Chain A
Amino acid sequence: MPQMEVARPVPGPVPASSLWKFLRLHFEFARVGFVNTLAYRLRYYTGIVTYFIYVSVYYFIWKAIYEHSASIEGFDFAHLLTYIGVGWIIRSLYFNNIDQDLAYQVIEGRLAMDLIKPVNIQFMYVARAAGEAVFRLALLTVPTALILFLVYPLRLPASFGGFLTFLMSIGLSFLIVAAINFAVGTFALRLQSILGLLRAKFFLLELFSGLLLPMTFFPHIAQKILDFMPFQYISYIPMLIYLGKLHGIDLVRAMGIQVFWVVALMAIGDGLWRWSTGKLIIQGG
């Protein structure tokens, strides 16, 4: 079993061959995620329509909001429309279903198959989700972006360099969402049903990630509290970068905190996974 070495964290500097194996293995997981998604192609056609309807609905809601004011919290309507529209476009990329996948593994008793694999389960799920994300980029994100940019007066990124930074920031958003979903998904091992928990998490991310409205719209005290949470680093920060509202040291700091949250949340997910599998009863299987 050559892959056994990957299972345990290697103390000291990682030998090059081990890192290579790690990457190759996780590339394989990503490929499986990509191919699995291929089977559900049909979903992505409905997905494009769905995202178009979402953005359209929010377009009208915001139009009604701006009826009485030209600028709210430093956003005029054109800026805000770009914020919302592009925010939904990138959501189609960083979004994943790791929590639901984990829940189904538990319900269907297939979790035992995950447990016998000599790999870090979290990395395996994240790699698979990354494969899915590549698939969605081609079949959902790009077509949705094309349609939305044609129909609505969305603004192009502030600068080319800014756009590249924005792409990097979305990559980190993806990892934050993946880590949160994995952590929430681990509760499926201990609870009878996590449907309610998933629903609460869904609304939590929608509101506090900045997808529905910029963080500056929140009352001051709420903003202060949310600063200490990972949620706004999912959508709000990448969108500020896209709009060219973050520069220099602020930009570096924001992306540094993104990296911090990726590491912290993955550590939490790892801890939760250990705690959940500590006492486990597999149903059937």
Chain B
Amino acid sequence: MKRHWRLLARYFAQYAKVRLAYKADFIIAFFSSMAATVLGFGFVLVLFTKIPRLQDWSFDEVMFLYGFSLIPLGFFNVVSWNLYDFSELYIIEGRFDRVLLRPVSTLYQVVFEKFRLESLQEVVTGILVVGYCVRRMHLELGAMDFLWFAVTVICGAGIYLAVFLILTAVSFWFEDRVGIVPPVFNMLNFGRYPLTIYNVFIQFLLSWIIPFGFATFYPTTHFLGRTAFTLYFHLVPVVAAGFTLLAVVVWNRGVANYSSTGT
């Protein structure tokens, strides 16, 4: 365990050096990331200039939800970079052979070999937005709430990572990119609205098939004092653990199925 932490620090330091060597690149990436964060919320910002509430959710509440979702998403984005090109870079180009030769878990290597540093911006933005909303709504948060906040953020990042690991692991069986990843990536956005506006089918989809609701919506209901979802809120760690376990199992089966392309 200690060795893994040290390795993580080394990986991170190494990659940070690589990224910062190209300063102009990094600055452009940083501002693109900022722009994406703001524009992603542009729809809701523009909308609330025309309407007072979304169903019975106020602007502050929707903004809290969006801000909260940025925090686990930011952590996920920092480590998810390798997952997008996984089948191109690791399977088709055969880089996975190298990963298999090393005495550290394959999953660990793939996730921590590259970092998208600029996405830490999302974490900071998210915390600022949440802080602003808490002040505006005069929410009373105790010590336990802060603990829950940290726990649900970790769970949220875990859920995002698990979902995309499962999708990535599919490329161990099908080398051709089926094109599932981009649409699921866009579905991240749908978990950033109050789930109550959807019908049962989509609520089910976002809760139990692709559980983005457990990464964002259900945690925030607790902090907003919406007691109707208390049960779901307490299920957050359970769902996160369950999907993480599933992801590890699928990944390991995928690795067992891997055969090098020989390139």
Query: Please, which residues of chain B bring their CB within 8 A of the CB of A143?
Result: none
| Chain A residues within an 8 Å CB radius of B202 | 53, 56-57, 60
Stretch at the interface among A18-26, A191-199, A247-255, A264-272: A191-199
Main secondary structure, interface of A, reads helix
Kindly provide the distance from the CB of B209 to the nearest chain A CB, expressed in whole angstroms.
11
Residues 186-238 of A contacting B (Cβ, < 8 Å): 191-193, 195-197, 199-200, 202-204, 206-207, 212-213, 217-219, 222
A217 touches B179 (CB 8 A): no
B51: which of A43, A72, A192, A219 is its contact (CB, 8 Å)? Answer: A72
B47, A200: Cβ atoms closer than 8 Å? no
Given A50-B183, A196-B29, A207-B39: A64 and B52 within 8 A (CB)? no
Chain A residues within 8 Å of B54, by CB: 61, 64-65
Give how many A residues have a beta carbon under 8 Å from the other chain's beta carbons.
Answer: 41
B79 nearest CB across to chain A (Å): 14
CB nearest neighbor in B for A187:
B28
Q: A53-B183, A197-B28 are in contact. Are A42 and B176 (CB under 8 A)?
A: yes
Q: Is the CB of B29 within 8 A of A57?
A: no
Q: Does A152 contact B (CB under 8 A)?
A: no
Chain A residues with CB under 8 A of B88: 104
The yes or no answer to B262 lying at the interface (CB within 8 A) is: no
In whole angstroms, what is the CA distance A246 to B38 when docked? 31
Q: Which residues in A have their C-beta under 8 angstroms from that of B193? A: 61
Please report the C-alpha to C-alpha distance between residue A43 and residue B24 in the assembled complex, in whole angstroms: 35
Contact B197 A60 (CB under 8 A): yes
Is B25 touching A192 in the complex (CB atoms < 8 A)? yes
Which of chain B's residues 185-220 have a Cβ closer than 8 Å to chain A?
186-187, 190, 193, 197-199, 202, 205
Given contacts A42-B179, A53-B183, A60-B202, contact A203 B35 (CB under 8 A): yes
Tell me whether B47 and A213 are in contact (CB under 8 A).
Answer: yes
B residues sitting closer than 8 Å to A (CB atoms) are 22, 24-25, 28-30, 32-33, 35-36, 39-40, 42-43, 46-47, 49-55, 81, 84, 88, 116, 118, 176-180, 183, 186-187, 190, 193, 197-199, 202, 205
Sorted from nearest, which 5 A-B pairs have the closest CB atoms?
A43-B179, A196-B32, A203-B39, A64-B197, A50-B183
